[in-house]
Amino acid sequence: MFAIVLGMLIVVFGVLFLRLHAFLALFFATLVVAAATSAHSVSESVLLHCTAQVDSISGQQLNLSEVGKDLGAQPGAYYLVGDVAAIAKSTPPLVWIERFEITDDSTTAFFAEELPAAASLTGARLIPHDEYQYAVRLAKTSPINRVANALGETFGKIGLLIAMASIIGQCLLASGAAERIVQGIRQAMGEKWTALAFVVSSFVLAIPVFFDTVFFLMLPLAQAMARKTGRDYLKYVMSIIVGGSLAHSLVPPTPGPLFVATELNVSIGAMAIGGIGVGIWGVIAGYFYMLWANRRWQIPLRLDPPEAAPHESANLDQQRESQLPSFGFSILPVVVPIFLLGMKTVSQTWLSGFDAPWMPFWNSTISFFGDKNIAISLGAVLALLTLLGKPQMTWAGLSKSVQKALSEGGVVVLITCAGGAFGEMIRQTNVGATIAHSLPASVGGTGLLITAFLVTVIIRVIQGSATVAMIAAIGIVVPVATQIGLPFHPVYLALAIGCGSKPLPWMNDSGFWVISRMSGFTEQETLKTFSVLLTIMGVVSFLATLVCAVCFPFV
């Protein structure tokens, strides 16, 4: 536990006071945790749920208890380990289990030959051969090699996804497709519902594009509407925040929810559907708070208007609009990946037992195109086509846009991989069993959701970054969840962590200053609008997650 506390302090102190890059802070903390973890804890973390306790040995059978959920109970080679603390120092007896018999209250293992007396180890632990060998190798591995391996494993899970998502976002911005999406939604809903159109537009755009970028893109539209109407500037600014902020923490492929879903083995499609499902309730709550705040505080547009004459500005807007791609083509890079991921999730959840002649072909097709890497890559190809269709676009210009996207995405990949390694080193301390044993018996199910939410909120308030808060929290929560077990689908735990990354943003959050400086709000105005808004949305979305977990567990 000391190693984990020290690692968390390094992350918080490094980001908040030393102003270190998040990657460096996470990397240094990861090394410290790895170096402070004993070999015994490392091996225990591997064997936590794949062993069984030997109660007695009689003839050619073992009577087992405390059977781990990942033991497998399959015929094969098993070790009988008497002293787990000395797992890397000696070779225990190896037996061949022919079969297991499992009843409601007992588990019995049968092997071919009777054990010699020296091997009759009542109280020993039965461990599968492969898991034992892996635990021994990992316990003997140096801290820096364990960190490097964890970095590589995390990159293998999400590196390609983040790179492709960066390409989608950059191409949508450079081609004008993002602007066309905003204009199309606004025109469809009418000028009277401009604020609601901004909410919908920012929510859609924040799925492939970072929230800060969405805010930069849409703020000029909010300022233009405020100049046109002479009022409601706060409403237009907050409408962008209402739509974009929750998608940033709940809907992949943005890094935070993507990483959390990957660590919990939740499909990207399930995370996207769940994030949209609970996020809508937070958006509704935020929308009503936005309307109330706009009536209570009249914050004027303090920024200087553009110097261009009105008719010149209108002509330029008309000329630019004619060069934008169509709405349908613009939104394809966002809709197609979500559709494919969602269809794979629906197929695996509700169509798995459906019997029809065409089902094998359907399953193979949707398994291929619904794979997270394939789906996001198809979105990137469509985004490149929107940019390639831009007037006067050359291959050199296309190459520069891709290079810029990968440069920005590379930084995110480094931070996320460092966070993944940090979480893995925390798991190797075997803290999950320690925390689970110290928690009251009532902490399970919804209690674990509340714990995950509060842990994320605390980390978020201390160090400011929503993404770093999610990355740090998952390393603490996952071992506890593994130890306790979940009575519902793990997507709810991922959503609870995402919701916990929203409340109480203040001066240590870069997004706070982006909103304040770009919109012209004072610090006090930003606190009572932006900070309160995100807190309400995070709490309401979390309450929606709790209700869904109880009513629709999807175990």
The pTM is what? 0.66
514 domain residue, yes or no = yes
475 domain residue, yes or no = yes
Look at residues 88, 118, 140 and tell me which one is the last residue of a structural domain.
140
Which amino acid is located at 213 in the chain? T
Residue 546, pLDDT above cutoff 70? yes
- Judge contact between 62 and 109, C-beta under 8 A: yes
DSSP 113: S
Give the whole-angstrom CA distance, residue 188 versus residue 160: 35
How confident is residue 510, by pLDDT bands cut at 50, 70 and 90?
low
How confident is residue 312, by pLDDT bands cut at 50, 70 and 90?
very low
State in Å, rounded, how far the first CA of the chain is from the last one: 31
Which is nearest to 51 in space by CA: 139, 140, 135, 117?
135
Residue 336, pLDDT above cutoff 60? yes
For the ranges 27-41, 315-329, 374-388, 538-552, which has the lowest average pLDDT? 315-329
Domain shared by 120 and 17, yes or no: no
Q: What are phi and psi of 281, to 5 degrees?
A: -70, -40
Domain that holds residue 53: 44-140
Most confident of 20-34, 85-99, 475-489: 20-34
The DSSP element (H or E) to which 437 belongs, if any, is: helix 431-438
Within the chain, what is the greatest distance between any pair of CA atoms?
98
Domain shared by 434 and 538, yes or no: yes
Domain shared by 19 and 53, yes or no: no
Give the whole-angstrom CA distance, residue 384 versus residue 527: 39
**For residues 467, 473, 477 and 478, what is the CA-based torsion angle, rounded to 10 degrees?**
50
DSSP 222: H
74 domain residue, yes or no = yes
Cis bond leading into 253, ω under 30°?
A: yes
* Tens digits of residue pLDDT in 420-478: 787 778 778 776 566 655 555 555 678 888 888 988 888 888 766 787 788 778 877 87
- Judge contact between 7 and 30, C-beta under 8 A: yes
208 domain residue, yes or no = no
Domain shared by 417 and 469, yes or no: yes
Domain shared by 36 and 57, yes or no: no
Domain shared by 130 and 65, yes or no: yes
Domain shared by 494 and 470, yes or no: yes
Here the CATH number for the domain that contains residue 98 is 2.40.30.60
446 domain residue, yes or no = yes
Domain shared by 73 and 121, yes or no: yes
Give the whole-angstrom CA distance, residue 377 versus residue 91: 47
Overall average pLDDT of the 18-47 stretch: 84
* Mean pLDDT of all residues belonging to the chain: 79
CB atoms within 10 A of CB 508: 16
Domain count, the chain: 2
How confident is residue 540, by pLDDT bands cut at 50, 70 and 90?
very high
Give the whole-angstrom CA distance, residue 494 versus residue 258: 10
How confident is residue 310, by pLDDT bands cut at 50, 70 and 90?
very low
For the ranges 1-5, 133-137, 304-308, 354-358, which has the lowest average pLDDT? 304-308
Domain shared by 421 and 519, yes or no: yes
**Two tokens, residue 378:** 């198809």
420 domain residue, yes or no = yes
Give the whole-angstrom CA distance, residue 207 versus residue 212: 12
Give the whole-angstrom CA distance, residue 266 versus residue 445: 17
For the ranges 106-110, 135-139, 191-195, 215-219, which has the lowest average pLDDT? 215-219
Domain shared by 420 and 515, yes or no: yes
Percent residues over pLDDT 70 in the chain: 85
**Two tokens, residue 194:** 């401009």
Percent residues over pLDDT 90 in the chain: 9
334 domain residue, yes or no = no
CB atoms within 10 A of CB 381: 14
Domain shared by 9 and 133, yes or no: no
User: What's the pLDDT at 313?
Assistant: 42
Which amino acid is located at 83 in the chain? D
How confident is residue 543, by pLDDT bands cut at 50, 70 and 90?
very high
Domain shared by 50 and 9, yes or no: no
Look at residues 140, 174, 195 and tell me which one is the last residue of a structural domain.
140
Look at residues 123, 140, 157 and tell me which one is the last residue of a structural domain.
140
**Two tokens, residue 157:** 């899970």
300 domain residue, yes or no = no
